[in-house]
Amino acid sequence: MGFASLDELLADGVSGRRVLVRSDLNVPLDGDVPNLRVTDDGRIRASLPVLEKLTQAGASVIVLAHLGRPKGAPEEKYSLKPAVDRLAELADFNVTLAGDVTGDSAREHAAGLVGGEVLVLENVRFDARETSKDDAARGLFADELAQLAGPDGAYVDDAFGAVHRKHASVYDIAHRLPAYQGDLVKAEVDVLQRLTKEPERPFVVVLGGSKVSDKLAVIENLIGTADRLLIGGGMVFTFLAAQGHSVGSSLLEKDQLDTVRGYLARAAEAGTEIVLPTDIVVAEKFAPDAAHETVTAERMETTRFGDSGIGLDIGPDSGALFAEQISSARTVFWNGPMGVFEFDAFAAGTRAVAQALAEATASGALTVVGGGDSAAAVRALGFDEASFGHISTGGGASLEYLEGKELPGLTALQR
């Protein structure tokens, strides 16, 4: 089993044909309707190469994409307009946004599309059938999408951030048109295979973010595979509490304490070292200007805030420790910030990890930033994206791949 590539589609010829492309335009926005603006255009820029290849080859391209989590009906705050406006600014081809998904506007624009132009359909999640659990409902929606491509149409999946979803524009459409793997999806899968199939060692995984429960399956799968797991972010407080330490008012998932204790025991037996922070930045409250102190991880209650203090970042000693662990690695995967990087006072831990990854890349290690908040953090903190081996566009998809799960969007492309 394998995948048909974009190059194979181009070799067959696309001039005069309509090609549906599932792109990832699910970008963060700021502001209020109607003045919403894109705050991080990383996914839009990552979508450009495939669109450029197709338009330059003469294809009429129809882009399928989603933004946010609308409830199966149009909502102006979830319109793709801000993302499409940014795409149009970056692109050297003509871009138009349809006024609906498969309605009159979409059909009219698709019929008038000429080679080298791009039509973006409105948010596919404005149609409840996109995410329906009913196979028949999704199938009907996929039929309507396929009709926009016409009898000589084709489908390219270039939205890695959505391949873990069994949605109509990801899964069902691939069974209705000749389906091809986009270059972005191929690059993501190639990198993840390098992480999961005999990675060059030492193999270090850095996990952060808010909750342990979001990372349970990936931790489970990496014990015995990774040489070291470095744990930071809000999830670290459940690990510290599992070891019997006080964590004040920090984020704590009490229902996961026994699970975490089991992980600590299993990791020791399997030869995977779990590295926890040695110090924590504890704040009086969750706010960018909150008073804060740095204390040892085992004694968080010793700040002047007592048991009301909340941990918002790993401390400087921990940042240095994690950087040292990363510097000795040959393969590094990072998913999840070390603290509340959006607040300058609590961004140092995340910055230390990002800097260490950049230096490891320069030393020849394979470094992978696992999308989502981690990718947003490296851009927000001013790092050059070229300083990292690979920045994923799909945090959730990356984690599910590392968990060993079957990703519907990938299985649908196999032939």
- 373 labeled part of a ligand binding site: yes
In a domain, 349, yes or no: yes
311 is in an annotated binding site: yes
Tell me phi and psi for residue 76, to 5 degrees: -60, -35
Q: How large is the average pLDDT for residues 289-308?
A: 92
Same domain assignment for residues 166 and 207:
no
> Do 202 and 311 share a domain, yes or no?
yes
My answer on whether 176 and 212 are in the same domain is no
Are 201 and 114 contained in the same domain? no
Tell me what the mean pLDDT of segment 322-339 comes to: 97
Contacts of 252 (CB under 8 A, 6+ apart): 237, 238, 241
Task: Assess if residue 401 is contained within a domain.
Answer: no
pLDDT tens per residue across span 46-83: 999 999 999 999 999 999 999 999 999 999 999 999 99
pLDDT tier at 160, thresholds 50, 70, 90: very high
Share of the chain above pLDDT 90, in %: 87
Residue 164 contacts by C-beta under 8 Å, 6 or more apart in sequence? 394, 396, 397, 400, 401, 405, 407, 408, 409
Is 165 annotated as a binding-site member? yes
Residue 152 annotated as lining a ligand binding site = no
Q: How many helices (H) and strands (E) does the chain have?
A: 14, 17
- Ligand-binding annotation for 77, yes or no, is no
Question: Which of 161, 208, 315, 396 does the annotation list as catalytic?
Answer: 396
List 81, 107, 211, 266, catalytic entry: 211
Residues 12 and 83 grouped into a single domain: yes
Q: Would the pLDDT of 371 be above 80?
A: no
User: In residues, how long is the chain?
Assistant: 415
Residue 21 lies in a domain: yes
For the entire predicted model, the pTM comes to 0.89
Q: Which of 207, 192, 225 is nearest to 407 (CA)?
A: 192
Same domain, 289 and 349: yes
Q: Is 74 helix (H, G, I), strand (E, B) or coil?
A: coil
Asked if residues 102 and 42 have their Cβ atoms less than 8 Å apart, the reply is no
- 35 annotated to a ligand binding site: no
Question: Is 384 within the bounds of a domain?
Answer: yes
Q: Which among 17, 18, 22, 43 is annotated as catalytic?
A: 43
We report the CATH number of the domain holding residue 240 as 3.40.50.1260
Query: What is the per-residue pLDDT across 165-205, written as a single tens digit (0 to 9) for each?
Result: 999 999 999 999 999 999 999 999 999 999 988 899 999 99
Q: Is position 330 annotated in a ligand binding site?
A: no
Q: Does the annotation count 182 as an active-site position?
A: no
Alpha carbon distance 202, 298 (integer Å) = 28
Mean pLDDT (the chain) is 95
Q: Does residue 169 sit within a domain?
A: yes
Q: Is residue 399 part of a domain?
A: no
Q: Do the annotations mark residue 177 as ligand-binding? A: no
Strand partners, 331: 203, 366
pLDDT of residue 231: 97
Q: Is the torsion defined by CA of 323, 403, 214, 32 positive or negative?
A: positive
Q: Is 37 annotated as a binding residue?
A: no
- Mean per-residue pLDDT for 151-174? 97
Active-site choice (232, 372, 389, 395): 372
| 174/300 same-domain check | no
Neighbours of 115 (CB within 10 A): 17
Position 1 confidence tier, pLDDT thresholds 50, 70, 90: low
Is 43 annotated as belonging to a binding site?
Answer: yes
Residues 154 and 220 placed together within one structural domain of the fold: no
Query: Within this chain, do residues 199 and 334 fall inside the same structural domain, yes or no?
Result: yes
Domain that holds residue 267: 191-392
Predicted local distance difference test score (pLDDT) of residue 33? 92
Q: Is 211 noted as a catalytic residue in this protein?
A: yes
Query: What pLDDT was estimated at residue 126?
Result: 98
Q: In the predicted model, what is the mean pLDDT of residues 115-139?
A: 98
For β-strands 29-30 and 37-38, DSSP reports them as: antiparallel
Q: How far apart are CA 115 and CA 64, in angstroms?
A: 17
SS3 229: strand
Q: Do 108 and 234 fall within a single domain?
A: no
Contacts (Cβ under 8 Å, ≥6 apart) of 365:
200, 329, 330, 331, 332, 389
Digit-coded pLDDT (tens) for 223-243: 999 999 999 999 999 999 999
CB burial of residue 255 (10 Å; 0-12, 13-18, 19+): exposed
Q: Over 80: is that where the pLDDT of 3 sits?
A: yes
Q: Residue 358: inside a domain, yes or no? A: yes
Does 403 map to a domain?
no
pLDDT in the model for residue 39? 93
State whether 214 and 179 are in the same domain: no
> Into how many domains does the chain fold?
2
Place of tokens 């990675």: 199
Regarding whether 354 and 221 lie in a shared domain, the answer is yes
Closest CA to 374 of 389, 356, 353: 353
